[in-house]
Amino acid sequence: MIWLTWRQFRVQFLVVATVIVAAGITLAITGPGLADDYRRLAGSFIESLGFQRFNPFLYIAGQALLYVTPPVIGAFWGAPLVARELETGTHRLVWSQSIGRRRWLATKLGVTGGAAIAITGLLSLAVTWWADPIDKAINAGQDSNTYLPRMFPPVFAARGLVPIGYAAFAFALGVALGLVIRRTVVSLAVTLAAVILIQIITPSLIRPHLLAPTDKYIVANAENVRGFGLTGDGPNPTVKELEVATGAVGAYKLSDDTVDKSGKALSTLPDWVIKCAPAPPPGLAQEPNSDADRTACFQRLADEGYRQHVRYYTADKFWDLQWREFGLFLLVAFALGGFSFWRIRRDLS
Amino acid sequence: MNTVLQAHGLGKKYGRRWALTDCDLVVPAGHVVGLVGPNGAGKSTLLNLAVGMLTPSAGTVEVLGAPAGAQQAKVGYVAQDTPTYARLSIEDHLRLGRRLNPAWDESLAQQRVQHLKLDPKQRAGKLSGGQRAQLALTLGLAKRPELLVLDEPVAALDPLARREFLQDLMEAVAEQELSVVLSSHLVSDVERACDYVIVLVDSRVQVSGEIDTLLATHYRLTGPRRDPKDLPRDQFVVTASHTDRQSTYLIRTEQPIHDPAWTVTQLTLEDLVLAYMGRDVQPERPVLEVQR
């Protein structure tokens, strides 16, 4: 059975594995140089990357590859696994041999799913190891417009364990959808769409529920304020929201709401808060607020009890959150696998 | 009596539609059984139930003394349209059979491939319909089952390939101790290969029995018009047709026919099967079964 699984799977496997192994080798070759730069240049390491071409490209490519791998595995390894047999009728050939269809499915899931986990794990390991100097430098506070802390959504799902969880989930989803839809191309497309959708909604809808974030109230002042959200007509805007820095380097902020004395969140701030803004909105011939005005404005904000309610994940929660998200997706993958075992016992002729 | 297939009140429902109802059937071992009936009569459903591809909605079906599907190693199955893996070679198919069947007969498989003059390296997708069917049959036979079930194996084949396939099947049956159940919508296939017949119409078994016995107990009677009530009690009317003056009955009886008013003709298998197929289905009437 393992032989048959491999015989049917080898082309799909080799296509994906070639790309990933090639990427892995490239990262393995360039990785030591990058780590060396990091040690040598210390504080100006991130800045030095701005003068390079290949390493910034590899950074983006590795990240992109880790996002692409789970949907591809789900759609091209998972979806056809049972759907193609049902579509061509060959399930009636293979299930009438001397082994039961559940053992058939167990071998198929074991071999193909194992390969999915192994190959994604390999890529994630390579990317995480390669990008480690950059992640470290960013988390140490080196300034960059290109590189984000690894706690931030675009990076988080391209490091460590999470991609493996996604791959296992995508594969199991593809198999289950193929078993239900029974058409290779349709289940392939649906799997692709579903996995991409899950990748998009996870950071905002699923991840915040996995771990309790740090919950804090911060009084805004001229030093910690990071942005003003404005609303209203051009000449007389009002402030809709304020954003403040958490003070924790490498943290990812989930929410930042202005609350009044009673702790109630505000949808719009009082009119006078516009005086706290450093410069007028672009295109308006208005004088910038003077430093004295701004200080007075922030003082009034503090005096009247307005505070910023911030919730954020600190950088040291990275592995905690990685394990939880990985565990969740692995659990869902097993549940989907269980469904497939249940479904395959029923009539499929 | 050893039975290969035994069904009691067997039924299968797809959604709201019954594809097979109230099927009672006992098939003795050692026969090549032909399952005939019009398209949509439930032949495939019955065979799929027998090999465990489907589970019954009602009743039970036993194969070789155990619930259907419980003894996969002992039951070979050549499915409708003889599916094979288009991208796998003939060699790969044999390897598949060898790996997945403990009782696999490699020399039989090799012999058949040689005999069929097939190139083992060729992909199954490049084979003709007849060759593909033969490959599927090879897998079924080399598994060394006690019962081989074939679902319309020759339906898609041209007459020559059809004859070769059935010929090969019969040779294999003669060499191996093997019971066979095959379905077809053509009586000529059954006539060529089988010694036992089951007629299935509208999801019900109309008649089943050894072909010789059936032919020896069915007659066509032609004579002056007569009411069916006036026929002897041991004569079971299968079909009747009347003109103003004349009656034609197709009857089954164990007894000789002495009435000189009748002209008695023997039936061919085709006459017999068509008579049962054309008969109005009367569910309240007990289903006929001719015992050995």
Closest CB to A100 among B53, B72, B99: B72
Q: Is B18 a domain residue? A: yes
Residue pointed to by tokens 């995508």: A170
For A329, the enclosing helix (H) or strand (E) is helix A318-345
| A229 shares a domain with A251 | yes
B88 touches chain A (CB under 8 A): yes
Most distant CA pair in chain A, distance: 87
Q: Is A247 a domain residue? A: yes
Residue type, B96: L
* Structural domain containing residue A259: 220-305
- The two beta strands, B196-201 and B32-36, are parallel
Q: How far is B45 from chain A (nearest CA, A)?
A: 9
B88, B91, B100, B152, best to mutate vs chain A, most A CBs in 10 Å: B100
| A155 shares a domain with A21 | yes
CB A27 within 8 Å of CB A126: yes
- Cα angle, residue B172 at apex, residues B170 and B174 outer, rounded to 5°: 70
Task: For A64-77, write each residue's pLDDT tens digit.
Answer: 999 999 999 999 99
**B253 closest CA partner among B269, B271, B268, B238:** B238
Between B264 and A284, the higher pLDDT residue: B264
| B167 shares a domain with B88 | yes
Q: Is A312 a domain residue? A: no
Residue that terminates a domain, selected from B202, B225, B257 = B202
Contacts B47 to A, Cβ<8 Å: none
Residue B285 has pLDDT above 70, yes or no: no
| A63 shares a domain with A186 | yes
Q: Give the pLDDT confidence score for residue A282 in this predicted structure.
A: 63
Asked if the Cβ–Cβ distance from A98 to B86 is below 8 Å, we say: no
Residue type, A2: I
| A79 shares a domain with A182 | yes
Task: For A99-141, write each residue's pLDDT tens digit.
Answer: 889 999 999 999 999 999 999 999 999 999 999 999 999 998 8
CA dist A307 → A256, A269, B115 (Å): 10, 11, 89
Closest CB to B51 among A4, A96, A100: A96
Residue pointed to by tokens 């249940």: A342
Q: How far is B173 from chain A (nearest CA, A)?
A: 19
Q: Can you tell me the mean pLDDT for B42-54?
A: 92
Residue/partner pairs of A14-21 with CB below 8 Å, 24 or more apart: A15/A76, A16/A69, A16/A72, A16/A73, A16/A76, A16/A77, A16/A119, A17/A115, A17/A119, A19/A65, A20/A65, A20/A69, A20/A119, A20/A122, A20/A123, A21/A122
Closest CB to B83 among A7, A90, A347: A90
Q: Is A9 a domain residue? A: yes
Distance CA A254, CA A312 (A): 5
Closest CB to B102 among A3, A93, A98: A98
Task: For A138-149, write each residue's pLDDT tens digit.
Answer: 998 888 888 999
- The two beta strands, B236-242 and A238-244, are unpaired
Distance CA B181, CA B190 (A): 10
Nearest residue in chain A measured CA to CA from B82: A93
pLDDT band at A286 (very low <50, low <70, confident <90, very high): low
Q: Is A259 a domain residue? A: yes
Closest CB to B92 among A7, A92, A99: A7
Question: How many CB atoms within 10 Å of residue A6?
Answer: 14
- Cα angle, residue A103 at apex, residues A100 and A106 outer, rounded to 5°: 150
| B76 shares a domain with B52 | yes
* Structural domain containing residue B134: 3-202
Q: Give the pLDDT confidence score for residue A317 in this predicted structure.
A: 93
Distance CA A296, CA A275 (A): 9
Contacts of A348 (CB under 8 A, 6+ apart): A86, A91, A179, B53
B96's tokens? 């598949």
Asked if the Cβ–Cβ distance from A98 to B100 is below 8 Å, we say: yes
Asked if the Cβ–Cβ distance from B86 to A88 is below 8 Å, we say: yes
Model ipTM value: 0.86
CB-side exposure of A253: number of CA atoms within 13 Å?
16
Q: Give the pLDDT confidence score for residue B284 in this predicted structure.
A: 43
Distance CA A46, CA A275 (A): 36
B48 touches chain A (CB under 8 A): yes
Contacts A346 to B, Cβ<8 Å: 55
| A250 shares a domain with A335 | no
| B232 shares a domain with B190 | no
Distance CA B221, CA B241 (A): 11
3-class secondary structure for B15-58? Answer: CCEEEEEEEEEEEECCCEEEEECCCCCCHHHHHHHHCCCCCCCE
| A61 shares a domain with A20 | yes
Closest CB to A92 among B53, B87, B95: B53
B131 touches chain A (CB under 8 A): no
What is the total count of domains within chain B?
Answer: 2
**B185 closest CA partner among B263, B274, B103:** B274
Q: Can you tell me the mean pLDDT for B118-130?
A: 92
| B235 shares a domain with B196 | no
The CATH number of whichever domain residue B153 belongs to comes to 3.40.50.300
pLDDT band at B291 (very low <50, low <70, confident <90, very high): very low
Q: How far is B74 from chain A (nearest CA, A)?
A: 8
DSSP, res A305? T
| B141 shares a domain with B223 | no
Contacts A95 to B, Cβ<8 Å: 53
Residue that terminates a domain, selected from B150, B180, B202 = B202
CA dist A61 → A34, A38, A53 (Å): 16, 20, 12
Task: For A299-332, write each residue's pLDDT tens digit.
Answer: 888 888 888 899 999 999 999 999 999 999 999 9
Q: Can you tell me the mean pLDDT for B108-125?
A: 92
| B255 shares a domain with B198 | no
Contacts A1 to B, Cβ<8 Å: 99-100
Q: Give the pLDDT confidence score for residue B289 in this predicted structure.
A: 52
| B158 shares a domain with B229 | no
Question: How many CB atoms within 10 Å of residue B100?
Answer: 23
Adjacency order of strands within the sheet including B147-150: B75-78, B147-150, B179-184, B32-36, B196-201, B204-210
Q: Is B266 a domain residue? A: yes
| B157 shares a domain with B19 | yes
Q: Is A269 a domain residue? A: yes
A5, A84, A86, A92, best to mutate vs chain B, most B CBs in 10 Å: A92
Angle at which helix A54-72 crosses helix A162-181, to 10 degrees, equals 30
| A333 shares a domain with A274 | no
Asked if the Cβ–Cβ distance from A347 to B53 is below 8 Å, we say: yes
B134 touches chain A (CB under 8 A): no
| A15 shares a domain with A137 | yes
DSSP, res A274? G
| A325 shares a domain with A272 | no
Task: For A237-258, write each residue's pLDDT tens digit.
Answer: 788 888 888 888 889 999 888 8
Nearest residue in chain B measured CA to CA from A347: B54
**A214 closest CA partner among A242, A250, A241:** A250
pTM of the model: 0.89
| B141 shares a domain with B259 | no
Q: How far is A342 from chain B (nearest CA, A)?
A: 14
Closest CB to B81 among A8, A89, A96: A89
Q: Give the pLDDT confidence score for residue A338 in this predicted structure.
A: 96
Q: Is A310 a domain residue? A: no
Phi-psi region for residue B9, left (φ > 0), alpha (ψ -120 to 50) or beta?
Answer: left
Residue A180 has pLDDT above 60, yes or no: yes
**Mean pLDDT over the full length of chain B:** 88
Residue that terminates a domain, selected from B151, B173, B202 = B202
Between A213 and A347, the higher pLDDT residue: A213
Q: Give the pLDDT confidence score for residue B286 in this predicted structure.
A: 46
Contacts of B249 (CB under 8 A, 6+ apart): B220, B221, B228, B231, B235, B237, B239, B240
Q: Give the pLDDT confidence score for residue A281 in this predicted structure.
A: 60
Nearest residue in chain A measured CA to CA from B137: A93
| A76 shares a domain with A168 | yes
| B173 shares a domain with B268 | no
| A162 shares a domain with A193 | yes
Q: Is B77 a domain residue? A: yes
Angle at which helix A2-41 crosses helix A132-139, to 10 degrees, equals 50
B97 touches chain A (CB under 8 A): yes
Task: For B158-167, write each residue's pLDDT tens digit.
Answer: 889 899 899 9
pLDDT band at A283 (very low <50, low <70, confident <90, very high): low
CB B57 within 8 Å of CB B165: no
| A187 shares a domain with A80 | yes
Q: Is A212 a domain residue? A: no
Q: Is A144 a domain residue? A: yes
Task: For A181-227, write each residue's pLDDT tens digit.
Answer: 999 999 999 999 999 999 999 999 999 999 999 999 998 888 888 88
**A191 closest CA partner among A338, A90, A77, A67:** A77
**A349 closest CA partner among B30, B12, B252:** B12
A144's tokens? 């960059």
B48, B53, B105, best to mutate vs chain A, most A CBs in 10 Å: B53
What is the total count of domains within chain A?
Answer: 2
| B107 shares a domain with B27 | yes
A:B CB pairs within 8 Å: 68
Residue/partner pairs of A161-164 with CB below 8 Å, 24 or more apart: A161/A124, A161/A322, A161/A323, A161/A325, A161/A326, A162/A124, A162/A322, A162/A325, A162/A326, A162/A329, A163/A66, A163/A69, A163/A70, A163/A120, A163/A123, A163/A124, A164/A117, A164/A120, A164/A121, A164/A124, A164/A326, A164/A330
| B40 shares a domain with B173 | yes
Q: Give the pLDDT confidence score for residue A285 in this predicted structure.
A: 58
